[in-house]
Amino acid sequence: MGRMTADGDFEFLGRIDTQVKIHGHRVELESIEAQIMELPGLRLTAVCVNPKNSKITAFVVADVEKDDKAWIARLETVLPHYCVPAGFVQLEDMPRP
């Protein structure tokens, strides 16, 4: 997203998508969320990246008990290693703005 300044320059204001850089790779967080939603028993998910260590955390609302090991093992078969969440946080409901 950007805007034209009064003197005709273009000013960059930031991204409007959820693309992030993880270990030098450009990653769309929606792509990770889509793969997580393929796991059985999940209703909602949102992922975020810790800017200090580039680790991904997935927040999920699920009808099943959280199983980090099984979920990570499954995601390792469909996502590059740098896109696999380091862990999951199970919530009763997803916060809304």
pLDDT (mean) for 32-38:
96
Look at residue 69 and tell me if it is in a domain.
yes
Gap between the Cα atoms of 70 and 90, Å rounded: 14
Q: Which two tokens stand for residue 82?
A: 């740098």
Q: What's the whole-model pTM score?
A: 0.79
Look at residue 8 and tell me if it is in a domain.
no
Gap between the Cα atoms of 85 and 48, Å rounded: 9
Q: Which two tokens stand for residue 27?
A: 């990653």
Is the per-residue pLDDT at 63 higher than 80?
yes
Of 4-13, 14-23, 46-55, 71-80, which range is least confident? 14-23
Total tally of structural domains belonging to the chain = 1
pLDDT (mean) for 78-91:
95
Helix axes 68-75, 29-36, angle to 10 degrees: 120
The CATH number assigned to the domain holding 68 equals 3.30.300.30
Confidence of residue 15 (pLDDT cuts 50, 70, 90): low
Look at residue 9 and tell me if it is in a domain.
no
Q: What is the model's pLDDT at position 71?
A: 96
Q: Which two tokens stand for residue 6?
A: 């009064």
Look at residue 89 and tell me if it is in a domain.
yes
Confidence of residue 17 (pLDDT cuts 50, 70, 90): low
Where in the sequence is the domain holding 71, given as residue range(s)? Answer: 24-97
